[in-house]
Chain A
Amino acid sequence: MNTVRNEATVATGGADLLAVARDLGKSYPKVFRRRDRLRALGKLLVGIDDLDSVPVLRGVNLDVLRGESLGLIGENGAGKSTLLKLLTGVLTPTTGSVEVRGRVGALLELGAGFHPEYTGRDNVAMSAALYGLAADELREKLPQIIEFADIGRYVDEPVKHYSSGMVVRLGFAIVAALRPDLLITDEVLAVGDESFQKKCVRWMEDYLAHGGTLILVSHSMYHIQKLCRHALWLRQGEVAAAGDVFEVTQAYLAYHERKSVAAPDRGIIAAQGVEFHLLGLAANDLEQETPVFLNQGDTLRLTARVRSRDGRPPTVAFGIARVDGTAVYGVSSEMDGIAPQRLDAHTWVAEIVFDDLTLLPGAYTVKAHPMDTEGVRLFDTIERGIVVRGSTREFGLVRLHHRWNDAPAQVMAQNGADSASSSSS
């Protein structure tokens, strides 16, 4: 395991990469009984590292450049905290490597590492030592920390007498004084009173303006979009999407929209033995829960496989809707007079191709429904997410065919009478 801890390694020139992770994975060993622990100990002692374990993070690749903040999004249990702990060096990776060049400040659980019996001042000294601050550096920064925390005489009282807000103040003050190269933070800024929050936000803005780098975990897409240029979406321990903050957050929101529609369980539908049901829906051959990314003008190919109980040919309908549910377009094989292809006695397949996709950039949902042969009754639905990328400034849902006329003769002739007759747009 070639892990480099974050102690005091400093970028060695070249591209200013602050944090790098390659194929990073973490598994927690399954330990239920005492015997498991003993066996694990024995294995580790002889140098075998393949403990029976549950993976919580798999194959994460990450590059964070200095000054380019990263937002981490995902549902609870997706592995966000594990990834943060790997970055801070609290956890050791099971597979792959993670490297952070520079001083890391972590605002994970504020006041983590504070000892309740000791005074604020003692705890500041301890935290500073843990962060790698030498005694003379601490002496220099202590007044600054105490001033930032602004908790008055409480700084010489045991931390157990503190309100939670005071613990937060002191914790933030330490990190603020450290001015880390990389600041890793969970959703912690939502604590403390109004004036302190403002102070934190001001500090954060100043930190970012002066080239500070942030890795932020948040459920607030607003904050992620405001503070970060890149985002990484973790889903069940794997990277579902990574890249530009707007694309990733849109894809994440789209996924949630679809999820909240509560797609029925495919197994249950199959067991119900309805006349027609879907076996699968692929967008450009990808049959995944996470959205498929396309560029404006790409080809979108949707393939639906339908099982027919009685062997009668189904009608297959396809639809595209915006994430908020606004329908964009829908069409069925029956409307176009097309018959789906038969694969075997009970399985049919229908494929529709949208060449030169005219959807404007954004997140969309594509759907497939099997209907009876007559195209009357609708039986089943599968949805997939697609995200169309692009940088156009047009607005709406699709690009309509249009052209701009050059100097219409009759308008010129009317000499500026009624310009509403312009046929453009």
Chain B
Amino acid sequence: MTLDELQPRRVGKLRAISLHFIRRELHNRYLGSISGGVWALLQPLIQLVIYGFVWTYVFNMRLPGAGATPVAIVPFLALGVWPWNAFSEAVLRSATVIQDNAGLIGKVAFPRGALVFAASSASFLLHGVGFIVVVIASELLGVPLQLVHLPLALLAFTLLFVLALGFGYLFAAVQVFVRDTSQVLAQLLPLMMFTAPVLYSRDYLPERFRAWLGWNPFTFYPEYLRAELLGIGTVGIGAQLAALVLAFAVLALGYAVFRRLDARFEDFL
């Protein structure tokens, strides 16, 4: 057997392992409990209803060029909250996944990167389903969504996955050496959320602060999704390219760090 013939076999093995890990991730998080499957669908809907209520009647937030009805505000929020949930959960879960599987790593040889990949994928799968549920719900409630742009939205979601995976590899590797990493992350992630237009629109900020949001790597995603699906605001081609380059740069960096530290995980777990 030559090397070329071996390559597909290795890829096949990696795929099989990743699929198993993804299944376990999903199983552990939701599907293991009796109400799990239902809960996975119900939770985003309940969350959305609450957000809609609070934003409309408590904070009295108005969309640029739209009325203050819960119906209008809900998809606006959804396009910020779902990507964020997927992203932050993927990063947090990935960060501890190597440490959590120390037992397995110490006994069986397998490509450990699959664990990180599975943790991130599971988060995006779950919240991807939630996202689709929300889109359908909005459509049924009569909010005009530009569904022709849905493929573009899913592409942006995929790019966000690339970004999350990059951070995931990075923090998963660092966590093995510095155990406080995940705690620090849990503190920093909400900060990242509030400095990105997840729960608000950039227009609500005073003029001099608006440009600052551009430094947050997450800002691009809710703005792009809202522009494409709701037609609120625009995102320039420059920002799109920057997001693309950044996501793959983070993935390259994260994976490089992971590869470099991988061989020493056993010694420090």
Contacts and interface: CB of A to CB of B under 8 A. Distances in A.
Nearest to A127: B108
Given A37-B178, A113-B104, A115-B24, A28 B10 contact: no
B107 A129 contact: no
Given A7-B13, A40-B268, A91-B266, A108 B107 contact: yes
A112 B264 contact: no
B12 A134 contact: yes
A8 B264 CA distance: 22
Nearest to A87: B109
Interface stretch (A41-49, A271-279, A370-378): A41-49
Contacts of A325: none
Contact of B260 (A47, A108, A109, A118): A47
A112 B108 contact: yes
Interface in B244-269: 257, 260-261, 263-264, 266-268
Nearest to B107: A112
A111 B257 CA distance: 32
B231 interface: no
A109 B107 CA distance: 8
Contact of A5 (B17, B32, B106, B109): B109
A115 B32 CA distance: 14
Given A29-B268, A115-B24, A38 B177 contact: yes
A113 B268 contact: no
Interface string B1-19: 1000010011011001101
B20 interface: yes
Given A44-B261, A47-B260, A115-B24, A38 B178 contact: yes
Contacts of A115: 24
Contacts of A5: 109
A113 B13 contact: no
A9 B177 contact: no
Given A5-B109, A90-B107, A112-B108, A45 B266 contact: no
B39 interface: no
A112 B109 CA distance: 11
A135 B268 contact: no
A92 B264 CA distance: 7
A407 interface: no
A6 B16 contact: no
Nearest to A26: B267
Given A5-B109, A38-B178, A130-B17, A92 B12 contact: no
Interface residues of B, number: 32
A324 to B, nearest CB: 41
B177 A40 contact: yes
Contacts of B263: 1, 92
Contacts, number: 88
B103 to A, nearest CB: 8
B194 interface: no
Interface residues of A, number: 40
A29 B260 contact: no
Contacts of A85: 266
A134 B16 contact: yes
B264 A44 contact: yes
A47 B256 CA distance: 12
Contacts of B209: none
Interface in A6-47: 6-10, 28-29, 31, 34, 37-38, 40-41, 44-45, 47
Interface in B103-149: 103-110
B1 A113 contact: no
A130 B108 contact: yes
Contacts of A397: none
A215 to B, nearest CB: 15
B174 interface: yes
A129 B178 contact: no
A92 B265 CA distance: 9
Contacts of B179: 34, 37
A34 B268 CA distance: 11
Given A38-B178, A41-B178, A44-B264, A132 B107 contact: no
A376 to B, nearest CB: 58
A142 interface: no
A118 B266 CA distance: 25
A69 to B, nearest CB: 21
A22 B110 CA distance: 23
A132 B108 CA distance: 12
Contacts of B267: 28-29
A117 interface: yes
Contacts of A41: 174, 177-178, 261
Task: Enumerate the 7 nearest inter-chain pairs by beta-carbon distance, A residue then B residue, closest first.
Answer: A89-B109, A112-B107, A92-B263, A41-B177, A129-B16, A132-B13, A113-B108
26 contacts: A5-B109, A7-B13, A8-B13, A28-B267, A34-B179, A37-B177, A37-B179, A38-B178, A40-B177, A41-B178, A44-B264, A47-B260, A88-B108, A89-B109, A90-B108, A90-B266, A92-B263, A92-B266, A112-B107, A113-B104, A126-B24, A129-B20, A130-B17, A133-B16, A134-B12, A134-B13
Given A92-B264, A112-B108, 14 more contacts: A1-B263, A8-B6, A29-B268, A37-B179, A37-B268, A45-B260, A85-B266, A90-B106, A92-B263, A129-B16, A129-B17, A130-B108, A130-B110, A133-B16
